[in-house]
Structure 1
Amino acid sequence: METIGTIKRGTGAFWRAGGAVFAGSFITFANLYCTQPLLPVFSHQFHVTPTVSSLTLSVSSAVLAVCMLLAAALSERLGRRRIMILSVFVSSLVVILTAFSPNFTTLIILRLAEGVVLAGLPSLAMAYVSEEFDPGSLGVAMGLYVSGTTVGGMFGRIAAGMLTDIFSWRYALAVIGIVSLLCSVYFWLALPASTHFHGHSFSLKETIRSFGHHLKSPVLFSVFGIGFLLMGSFVSLYNYIGYLLTGAPYRLSQTAFGWIFTVYIMGTISSVWMGKLADRFGRTKVLGIGMIIMLTGGLLTLAPSLVVIVIGAAVFTFGFFGSHSVASSLVGRLAKSDRAQASSLYLLFYYAGSSLVGSINGVSWSLYRWHGVILMIGSAILLSMLLELLIIRFMKGHVD
């Protein structure tokens, strides 16, 4: 039987561990998404279409999704902490190398490598939180992890936009990599050792059995599907809103467009707040509310007013990060064993959605512009709501 975490909210140990988890997710998402506001720049400089330019993000997400499965398996032998520390340090160095890409092909190869090394943190951090934190504090702890992703993603995108306008995209990526490297030192020093982790030797057969067990669970598979659809929707919105706002009639500069990512602050607020609500009122109820908020925000971006578009993006972001925070904690609660594998499967679907849906929507943009993108996003959210109804049905009679 797995032991229950003892790090409780309100203690010094909670804020130390929570701060380290926040820093780790900050590094991961700053490094992963720093190229997103640069997609129009890459299209112009390397003479590629929006769909091809989006590969700078999609290849990282795709390989990250696959490699997380290996990272989760290796962590059972090598430990969570060691792999997470290696991940944040090496990924920061790769971002710095990316700044020196001589052509688009090299850029794609380095972004692929970025996905490989980043894989060592996300699924393991979720497993670490599930193992080390008290169940009554799990929602807030996962909220801290998700809020780190919002702040990191916001920093990477805003810094990339501003520094590209002032200097160049190469300078921007180099600075982001250096900041991430400094944060990696803090992560290494602050992250407590695992005290409730009990590893075992790596077995491919046992790993496949564990993955198969989780995939056969209707309720877990539905949560995985929600992660796929919601993340795909979120990345799609921010992949192509840059083309909308830097083109006619808005014609925002890279700096002005970069500041739109300040709406990620809404995600920081919602991930912690909705995590608390989930601990109090139940995860499935709060998850449904989050998806309704997402859909409302997406529809608002169809307005011709720049102010309303930004408000819509903020509402959409609030709903997404709140939903992701709740879904993440739901995985940790539902998986009674092999939590690292369950978390990595959730994130496999999550980042697969980022890669596949994010790129496919490039076709929607090319054919029908912004209305086509929002149509695809709205359809994905509605399908997620259907999966949530299945979760409620499967969990009837159980505490969520």
Structure 2
Amino acid sequence: MIASTPRVTATHPSLPAVFLLGICALLNLYSPQPILPALAHWGGVTVGSAGLTISATTLGVALTAPLAGSLSDRLGRKRLIVWAITLMVACTLCCVLSTSFHQLLLWRFLQGLTIPFVFAVTLAYISEESSAGSRALVNSVYVAGTAFGGFLGRFVAGTTLEVVANWRYTFVALAVVELVVLCGTLFLLKKEANFTPSRSLLAGISGAWRHLGDMRLLLSFGVGFLLLFQQVGSFTYASIALLHAPYNLPPPAVGAVFLVFLLPVITTPLAGRINAARGPLFTYLLFSTAGAAGLAITLFGNVWCVLVGMALSCISIFAGQSASTGFISSHCQHDRSSAIGLYLSGYYLGGAAGAIVPARLYAHFGWPGCVVLLVALAAVSCVFACIAWRK
């Protein structure tokens, strides 16, 4: 039976903890990007091979996301989040002690295993502990935190390497951020009051299996796949394009493009208010259209047009993430975190595909070819949302 204790509202003191947990969800994933040359030099590998430090973490996320939901449905929310962040800190510090490139890959993979226990479980916590009127806003604050975490991980790693000139200290700095999140979770996040555990771990896994028979959820998982595909594909190949004619920007200037990840910290809560008032479908279509328009703007061949376009695209992705996870949380009345875990697997598989699939188009048609693909996929995701999220 569900407890009758008061639900979390938008002014609940755990709201800062929700934002901190959002930071932790994406802090580690792409943090090695600014230090790949240093890792390649230390490990005696190419810069491309050094990128495996990102792929290893992504693989870990995709493997454990469904299991994270099932365990959470059985064991509870806050306890599992705390243990996950604790293990995340330990794995991050072990990266510092790596004696070979392959050992570093192992610790990065283990880092990835812990991320779904923060990402998926926090979304389930928000859905259960927020009032119906504040749920969309609280969820959007969490997604805003993930946007800030995606920026902060890159910023901390790049800045630390520039100051200390030793890649190992970047992981020390990241561990400090994780410890701050851990303390915030322990002291600010209330223990779940509306959680009903599943009968057994097997029951949770069975619940995840049943989700695969829900066509509305499957299409929502497809939306997640296409969202991160668009984000990774756009930033990967736009960054490459900016290094060459007609832009010819130096690498530090190209890296500054990632500052647009700060914008969703402001705009995603606004998307949450629109979501609460008009629903996830209206919100998704609105921001997805803006993101597609932004990608089209980048074709004008001006650096500022590229920056504005990428900013609109980034804003649209995180608003879409807020709408899609919000729909899943409200749609699923049972085994909610299992559904979010499955969504998360599709989401990160989309990111892996987004880094690889546009490569041939870029080789033959350059950045315009990638834009055509990404805009087409945005349209497909809107079709998925229209079918899945209709009332």
TM-score (structure 2 length as normaliser) = 0.90
Q: Would you say the 8 A contact 2:284–2:382 is kept in 1?
A: no
CA shift, 1:17, in A, is 1.7
Partner of residue 65, structure 1: 62
Once residues 90 and 5 of structure 1 are traced to their aligned partners in structure 2, the CA distance between those partners, rounded to angstroms, is: 31
Partner of residue 195, structure 1: 193
Partner of residue 18, structure 2: 21
Amino acid paired to 1:7: R
Partner of residue 294, structure 1: 291
Amino acid paired to 2:291: M
Once residues 172 and 350 of structure 1 are traced to their aligned partners in structure 2, the CA distance between those partners, rounded to angstroms, is: 27
Unaligned runs of 5+ in 1: none
Change over 3 Å in CA distance of 1:10–1:331 after alignment to 2: closer
Does residue 216 (structure 1) correspond to residue 216 (structure 2)? The answer is no
Change over 3 Å in CA distance of 1:152–1:226 after alignment to 2: same
Q: Would you say the 8 A contact 1:250–1:306 is kept in 2?
A: no
CA shift, 1:223, in A, is 1.0
Partner of residue 29, structure 2: 32
Question: May I ask how many residue pairs the two structures share in their alignment?
Answer: 388
Matches within 5 A, 1:289-368: 289-365=286-362, 368=365
Instruction: Summarize deviations over 1:104-155 as a string: whole Å, max 9, x none.
Output: 4333222211111222111100100011100111100101110110111111
Q: Secondary structure at the match of 1:33?
A: coil
CA shift, 1:158, in A, is 1.9
Once residues 236 and 143 of structure 2 are traced to their aligned partners in structure 1, the CA distance between those partners, rounded to angstroms, is: 20
CA shift, 1:316, in A, is 0.7
Once residues 4 and 61 of structure 1 are traced to their aligned partners in structure 2, the CA distance between those partners, rounded to angstroms, is: 39
Matches within 5 A, 1:67-146: 67-146=64-143
Instruction: Summarize deviations over 1:60-111 as a string: whole Å, max 9, x none.
Output: 1232122021122122332111110111222133223324544443332222
Partner of residue 167, structure 2: 169
Once residues 245 and 174 of structure 1 are traced to their aligned partners in structure 2, the CA distance between those partners, rounded to angstroms, is: 31
CA shift, 1:288, in A, is 0.8
Unaligned runs of 5+ in 2: none
Once residues 270 and 4 of structure 1 are traced to their aligned partners in structure 2, the CA distance between those partners, rounded to angstroms, is: 33
Instruction: Summarize deviations over 1:137-187 as a string: whole Å, max 9, x none.
Output: 110010111011011111111222333334243333331222222332222
Partner of residue 183, structure 2: 185
CA shift, 1:235, in A, is 1.9
Once residues 220 and 337 of structure 2 are traced to their aligned partners in structure 1, the CA distance between those partners, rounded to angstroms, is: 15
Q: Would you say the 8 A contact 2:39–2:167 is kept in 1?
A: no
Amino acid paired to 2:376: S
Q: Would you say the 8 A contact 2:120–2:340 is kept in 1?
A: yes
Change over 3 Å in CA distance of 1:39–1:250 after alignment to 2: farther
Choose the corresponding residue for 2:264, options 244, 260, 267: 267
Change over 3 Å in CA distance of 1:246–1:365 after alignment to 2: same
CA shift, 1:368, in A, is 4.7
Q: Would you say the 8 A contact 1:76–1:201 is kept in 2?
A: no
Partner of residue 377, structure 2: 380
Amino acid paired to 2:196: H
Change over 3 Å in CA distance of 1:262–1:326 after alignment to 2: same
Once residues 102 and 91 of structure 1 are traced to their aligned partners in structure 2, the CA distance between those partners, rounded to angstroms, is: 19
Q: Would you say the 8 A contact 2:66–2:339 is kept in 1?
A: no
Once residues 82 and 287 of structure 1 are traced to their aligned partners in structure 2, the CA distance between those partners, rounded to angstroms, is: 33
Change over 3 Å in CA distance of 1:374–1:103 after alignment to 2: farther
Amino acid paired to 1:222: L
Q: Would you say the 8 A contact 1:159–1:258 is kept in 2?
A: no
CA shift, 1:333, in A, is 1.0
Change over 3 Å in CA distance of 1:232–1:37 after alignment to 2: farther
After TM superposition, the structure 1 stretch with the greater mean CA deviation from structure 2, 216-225 or 242-251, is 242-251
Q: Would you say the 8 A contact 1:28–1:88 is kept in 2?
A: no
Choose the corresponding residue for 1:232, options 221, 229, 233: 229
Partner of residue 7, structure 2: 7
TM-score (structure 1 length as normaliser) = 0.88
Change over 3 Å in CA distance of 1:237–1:107 after alignment to 2: farther
Root mean square deviation of aligned Cα:
2.5
Change over 3 Å in CA distance of 1:238–1:53 after alignment to 2: farther
Q: Would you say the 8 A contact 2:70–2:205 is kept in 1?
A: no
Change over 3 Å in CA distance of 1:98–1:371 after alignment to 2: farther
CA shift, 1:23, in A, is 0.7
